[in-house]
Amino acid sequence: MTLSLRVAIVGAGPAGIYAGNILNRQVAEARGEVAIDLFESLPAPYGLIRYGVAPDHPRIKGIVNSLHEMLDAGTIRLIGNVEVGRDVTVDELRERYDAVVFATGALKDAPLDIPGIDLPGSYGAADLVAWYDGHPDVPREWPLEAEQIAVIGNGNVALDVARVLAKHPEDLLPTDVPANVVAGLEASPVTDVHVFGRRGPGHVKFTPIELRELGEVPDVDVIVYDDDFERAAGDPHAEQLHASNNQVKVMTRTLNGWRKPADRVSTASRRLHLHFLHSPVEVLGDGRVEGVRFERTRPVGNGSVAGTGEFVDVPVQAVYRAVGYASSPLPGVPFDESKAVIPNDGGRVTDAAGSPIPGVYATGWIKRGPVGLIGHTKGDALETITNLLADATAGALPASAVEAAGGDEVLELLEAREVHYTTWAGWLELDAHERALGEASDAPVVRERVKVVPRDEQVEISRAGSLVGS
């Protein structure tokens, strides 16, 4: 049987694009045919790469080049500025496609359930990331009023947030950082940013490149504390990791390189402090954030820590929690609230009884939770698409209720509802516009692009290009 499929993928970040590319390749190898529509709630593609990675990470953002090639090949049709569940329902997609794959990622902050976490001056790291990355659906201004800031978490997002907050804005100008973000950072009075982790320096969740970049920030001193290292000494689990993991060795060497005598003098105008074995128990303040209370912890030998009963208060005027991301439910799709994922078996979405729902799939963070790096989504997408094609070959996909008539039924539906969708051709227009803004910038450094922030402006620029043939 020759495969002939129409598939909708919801989410145009790396997970969705990888899934579309793998699907197209595998169907081609089977000498079949597939039409793929990639739906995105934002006017522009790339998801996490455009709106979730710090602007001063050009090497990570280099992934955009390969994603661009996949979409530019013309085998995947981008339909942007369309929110599934509002502009078009899941049932309407299932009526028009043989299969629907959800790749909507994880966009909101995981909760940190401690007293005072909701005080004014306490924020989620994901919200700040969205602001400094120019996400169109967050406020243009951010309240940067604190001199001392706490970032709670020991992963890459915590380091990104701390680095951007401590960095002088002129050092961000070579990136695509929006103009409103530069203006906000210029007004920031910050002098000290403190990053706190529950476990010891041998158990950080950073990557070596993220950690090393901290020491390369101009006019920002990185400070670590001997007491943290001494408390962590002799932990057999950390020693085992150090002996078996080259990344841990590199990071341990980097951290130890920042250890200095107790009478050290900081010469920079700003400082970034790394604290270990601190577990947050309360955000302090009368009406707004005034500090954070931590319990000192100790390693227990299996990678975990236990409280010591010793508490320390750190005065700060703002707190950012970077303890992970969480996915959001979509109308018409099962959702596991406890795990914040779409329940699935190998990417096959399952119902309340645990049975697969024919023709409905998931991939990426919405499938497995917000763990792993961007590259891990390739293997994840491969599993989902392999199972989708196995179902198609076995005749297990439901028949589309709406007959295909050139593939434009969904576009006609959106146009009838006056949804101003964007396309790949439109993205090329917006991309060129942002690059032109960079060339025209009067900044003292060369700017590759200046990101357009307002949604309506992005849509207007995109739709000024041709919607034909996209």
Q: How far apart are CA 105 and CA 10, in angstroms?
A: 10
Distances 99 to 189, 325, 398 between C-alpha atoms, Å = 52, 27, 8
Q: How far apart are CA 84 and CA 76, in angstroms?
A: 18
Provide the pLDDT for residue 372: 67
Token pair recorded at residue 214: 């901290």
Mean pLDDT of 450-466: 90
Provide the pLDDT for residue 405: 53
pLDDT at 469 > cutoff 50: no
Q: How far apart are CA 132 and CA 385, in angstroms?
A: 34
Q: How far apart are CA 128 and CA 132, in angstroms?
A: 6
Which domains does the chain carry?
A: 4-107+327-421 (3.40.50.720), 108-325 (3.50.50.60)
Flag the least confident range among 2-6, 43-47, 169-173, 197-201. 2-6
Q: What is the mean pLDDT of the chain?
A: 91
pLDDT at 297 > cutoff 80: yes
Q: Where are the beta strands (DSSP E) in 41-156?
A: 76-79, 99-102, 108-109, 122-124, 148-152
Mean pLDDT of 387-407: 81
Provide the pLDDT for residue 470: 39
Element housing 34 (H / E): strand 33-39
Provide the pLDDT for residue 467: 47
CA torsion sign for 389, 50, 209, 125 is negative
Is the model more confident about 282 or about 368?
Answer: 282
Let me know how long the chain is. Answer: 470
What pTM does this model have? 0.91
Mean pLDDT of 376-385: 90
Q: Pick from 264-268, 401-405, 436-440 the range whose average pLDDT is largest.
A: 436-440
Q: How far apart are CA 391 and CA 381, in angstroms?
A: 15
Q: How far apart are CA 288 and CA 125, in angstroms?
A: 18
Position 163, amino acid: R
Provide the pLDDT for residue 444: 82
Q: CB burial class (10 A; 0-12, 13-18, 19+) of residue 133? A: buried
